[in-house]
Amino acid sequence: RFFIIKESFLLYYAESEKKSFESNKYFNIHPKGVIPLGGCIVEPKEEPNMPYAIKISHEDFHGNIVLAAESEFEQAQWLEMLQESGKVTWKNAQLGEAMIESLEAQGLQLAKEKQEYLDKLMEETEELCLQREQKEELERLNQVLEAEKHQFEEVVRELRLEQEQIRRELELTARSLKGVEEEKKELRSLTQSLQKNLEELSLEKQQMLEMLEENESQLPPPTSPSKEQSSVWGLHCSLRQIEEKMQQLLEEKLLAEKRGSYSGARDRDVGQDATCYSSQSQALQNSLSELTAEKQQAERDLKAEVKVRMDLEKRLREAEEALQSLEQGLNSLDRNKEKEEKMKADVSNLR
């Protein structure tokens, strides 16, 4: 006979069915007989003229069923297949169906959860992309702020150099003012001295004129050169010398006054230059203070943005780790309560 094992049943046909099965590769659904194998005891047995026999027994069978193989190897193969098929009972089949239905329900639930997680992952991925764009924007702003910071530092350096130059010019102006003041004092003292000499010479001239008039009034008309005439001539010479000396002193006084007026003009010019330099220095100082304040504000803003960027990078790393953990959890077939709680925690962290 020709035997076929189908699930938990042993089907047997006529010997001619073997050729049809080998050529068509499918079995006839109308066998000659069917032996249910569920719960059967299958064991080897030695029978006369059948050294490789197989006994199939069951409490519900009337007697035993004995089959024979052609060799020991075939006997071992048939024993293994018959014993495996005997494990498939009705209860086992019902339990298997229940397990299959449970697994299908779990699969549907897992597919639903997976879709929900995928939707959440898509949302979080979009948020992460937005955070990456914000990070790139922060990096660009950081570069712009760095460039502005370098510009501010360059401007501050130039202003400090200019302020140092103005300070040196102010010191030079102060020394010039001091020299002008000393020169004015010298000219003032010289003018006072010349004025005093002029007054003395004027007084002496007045006295000599009075003496000359007195002598001329007392002398008789001149008939010949005499001693009195020579004395009068001497007085005239002295008077002329005094006048020349007074003229010289007046010229020196005028020169001193011109020098004084020139010194005053220089003093005014130097004062105006000092005022101009002082105003420029004050303006530069104000500009330097404003630039320093702007630089400090820019540095504070830069530090704040760097801190925000570091926080965003930290959150991004945590989100990426949570995404990896979620992906591993979704791809894992071994699901338990602890992993589900961890996945929920990762979703909460991502949210």
In order of their start, the domains of the chain are 2-88 (2.30.29.30), 109-216+228-346 (1.10.287)
The number of beta carbons lying within 10 Å of the beta carbon of residue 262 is 13
Lowest average pLDDT, out of 65-79, 175-189, 200-214, goes to: 200-214
Position 224 pLDDT exceeds 50: no
Distance of alpha carbon 159 from alpha carbon 248, whole angstroms: 55
User: Three-state DSSP class for 8?
Assistant: coil
Strand partners, 55: 43, 66
> How confident is the model over 50-78, as pLDDT tens digits?
888 888 888 888 888 888 888 889 889 98
If you average pLDDT over residues 4-26, what whole number do you get? 81
Spatial CA neighbour of 150 closest among 308, 285, 282, 302 = 302
Please give the pLDDT value at position 291. 75
The CA R_g of the chain, rounded to the nearest whole Å, is 65
Mean pLDDT over the full length of the chain: 78
Q: What is the pLDDT of residues 291-333, one digit of tens each?
A: 778 777 877 887 887 788 788 888 888 877 777 777 776 666 5
Give the sheet arrangement for strand 2-6, strand by strand.
2-6, 9-13, 33-36
Question: Residue 44, SS3?
Answer: strand
Q: Give the bridge partners for 44, in sequence order.
A: 54
Mean pLDDT of 16-28: 79
pLDDT at 345: 72
Residue 51: per-residue pLDDT = 81
β-pair type (50-57, 65-68): antiparallel
What is the distance between the alpha carbons of residues 146 and 299, in angstroms, rounded to a whole number? 9
Taking Cα atoms as reference points, which of 195, 340, 302 lies closest to residue 254? 195
Closest CA to 274 of 181, 346, 208: 181
Roughly how many angstroms between the first and final C-alpha of the chain, as a whole number? 70
CA torsion, ordered 29, 31, 37, 41, to nearest 10 deg: -160
